[in-house]
Chains A and B, each alone.
Chain A
Amino acid sequence: MAERVFMKGCEAIAEAGVRAGCRFFAGYPITPQNEIPEYFARRMPEVGGVFVQGESEVASVNMLYGAAATGTPAMSSSSSCGISLYSEGVSYCASARLPVVYVNVQRGGPGIGAIQPAQQDYLQATKASGNGGFRMIVLAPATVQECVDMVYEAFELAQRDNNPVLVLTDGVIGTMMEPVVLPPMKTDEDIKAMKAKFADKACTGHEPCKQHFCFPGSVGTGQEIANKEAEKMYATWDKDVRVEKYLTDDAEIIFAAYGISARISRAVVKQLRAEGIKAGMIRPITVSPFPYEAFSSLDFNQVKGILDVEMSIPAQMRWDIDHAVQGRCPINECRRSGGQLLTNDQVLEGARQLIKEVL
């Protein structure tokens, strides 16, 4: 086995980006993701990449747009209110079909929110990260190792679809340290090959007659054609749906949680199982496309209740669970917000309440 190293979530995200071939990063400081740009600032010169601290989020995301238009593997990161400022730029990237990767290390909200961790951006991330109805694959890691694996994979997915990919994490996972095994470093040849695949679209300059345009959409009736093309691409994502079903086979109580809330829920499921309670968990790994099937195909003669666990008030993933469950069993919520962290004890208390009501 490869050697494990002890890394902070944000630094692991940045190193995974470098190893995935990222050679352009632009960003603007905001807690709790500052270690991502800080790491890139130090690391990019070592690999011949470019780091820019933009004068704002708006400038940074537009530099990301520009860098991706040249075919350079590019990435950015921000947090919650900063991500709101990315909306326009990401929408333009989606419109121009550019393979950018960005990371949201969620903090409190709405507005400037709290600098502490939260999961308050679920609906924004999964449904409308900008105007125009574009869609993205959104990956939700629950461990520092998954941050590494998903950022690495995000570059592959973005380049496969020529579409933005978002990694949606939070201030707990971004700030905590855990052992990770890092993926192999993409070689200069690998990166050259990535750029070559994009060469027929890339804006590589005026000489020698190799100018291309990455239009944000197309003018006139072309827009509808572009949207239909994008829709065809979204329709291929059934294969990309990823979900973890933990001890669900005989479960009567199902926890529904992603990211940090899922790792806490898992510990509580274990505790309840030790008491003889048939608990299980469904963890969306891709929150977009959402694993509706995992919920809609549950045997509701067996499942008596669902506990939606989120660090968000009001609950947001609840919308997707409702959509799949269609009222076939009660759904309770266990939530914290405003920088208050969920703990094992609170989730356990939420579970006991549900058990009292339905079992």
Chain B
Amino acid sequence: MERNIMMAGFGGQGVMTMGKLLAEATCDATDLKVSFFPSYGAAMRGGTANCFVVISDDEIGAPVCYNVEDLIVMNGPSLHAFLKNVKPGGNLFINSTIVTDPIDRDDVNVISAPVTQMALDMGNDRALNVIMLGVYVGYTDAVPEEVIIKGIEHKFENKPKLIPPNVDAFKKGIEIGRAQKK
């Protein structure tokens, strides 16, 4: 089984970190094949940023795929640019704080979470990506949630203060993802 995930937003929203966290944690804690491919414009903050993660039990071909099972959009322009790339029956995760346009497809599952607002409410405005990763994992079970928690602990091993708030943020996301599961 191969799972292609595309994540998109603008620079500064932690899109790359979200993809890398998912991919690296999968590498460290499972035997699955996994790849991460970043794609971004020339501007760092405010520019376009998207990345691709492929998780598979078999060898991975292209690390870039425009026909994905899962699409995560963190901002409005990404929705319009990439909605067409979701397979029929695939999953669309939206950051509903700022992605407010109607979704003109009825053959995809829409999972929405106001992750920008949630991060602000938690007093940790940078955690929106970790919350969204929680929503994703909670909904799809693409990898066990412990795998990501280990990944967070590993990522912040030099800044241990940041582990509990990020694990909390991730768990909040998990709850939302689970709640929207059919």
**When chains A and B are docked, how far (Å) is the Cα of A263 from the Cα of B33?**
13
Check: B35 CB closer than 8 A to any chain A CB. yes
Instruction: Pick from A178, A265, A341, A344: contact of B35, CB below 8 A.
Output: A178
Segment at the interface with B among A104-112, A169-177, A216-224: A169-177
Question: Hey, which chain B residues are within 8 Å of A342, CB to CB?
Answer: 62
B63 interface hit (Cβ, 8 Å): yes
CA distance A345 to B23 in the complex (A): 23
Closest residue of A by beta carbon distance from B52? A176
A345 and B4 CA atoms in complex are apart in Å by 14
Contact with A along B22-58 (1 / 0, CB 8 A): 0110011000011111100000000000000000001
| Contact partner, B62, options A5, A6, A270, A343, Cβ 8 Å | A343
Q: Whole-angstrom distance between the alpha carbons of A345 and B28 in the complex?
A: 30
Q: Does A335 contact B (CB under 8 A)?
A: no
Q: Does B171 have its Cβ within 8 Å of any Cβ on chain A? A: no
Docked complex: B53-109 residues within 8 A CB-CB of A: 58-67
Write the nearest CB–CB distance from B157 to chain A, whole angstroms: 14
Q: A176-B36, A176-B37, A178-B35 are in contact. Are A264 and B27 (CB under 8 A)?
A: no
Set A6, A176, A179, A264: member contacting B61, Cβ < 8 A: A264
Query: Which of B20, B34, B64 gathers the greatest number of chain A CB atoms within 10 Å?
Result: B64
- Inter-chain contact B64/A263, CB cutoff 8 Å: no
Question: In the bound complex, do residue A6 and residue B27 qualify as a contact, i.e. CB atoms below 8 Å apart?
Answer: yes
Q: Are A179 and B27 interface neighbours, CB within 8 A?
A: yes
Q: Beyond A172-B37, A175-B37, A263-B59, is A6–B66 a contact (Cβ under 8 Å)?
A: no
Query: Which of chain A's residues has its CB closest to B56's CB?
Result: A267
- Expressed in whole angstroms, the Cα–Cα distance for A112 and B40 within the complex equals 19
Contact with B along A252-276 (1 / 0, CB 8 A): 0000000000011111101000000
Question: What is the CA–CA distance of A177 and B17 in the complex, to the nearest angstrom?
Answer: 13
Q: Given contacts A175-B38, A176-B36, is CB(A344)–CB(B61) below 8 Å?
A: yes
Are A6 and B23 interface neighbours, CB within 8 A?
yes
Q: Which of A196-238 contact B (CB under 8 A)?
A: none
Question: B62 — which chain A residues lie within 8 A by C-beta?
Answer: 263-264, 267, 341-344
Against B, the Cβ 8 Å flags (1 = close, 0 = not) of A1-17 are 00011100000000000
A48 to B23, CA, bound (A): 33
Minimum CB–CB distance for B68 against chain A, Å:
11
B51 to chain A, nearest CB (A): 10
Contact of A176 (CB < 8 Å), options: B27, B28, B35, B59: B35
Given the interface pairs A6-B27, A6-B28, A263-B60, the reply to whether A177 lies near B65 with Cβ below 8 Å is no
Nearest 3 pairs of A and B residues by beta carbon: A267-B61, A6-B27, A177-B36
Known: A6-B34, A177-B35, A263-B59. 13 other contacts (CB 8 A): A4-B27, A4-B28, A176-B35, A176-B36, A176-B37, A176-B63, A177-B37, A178-B35, A264-B62, A266-B61, A267-B61, A341-B62, A344-B61
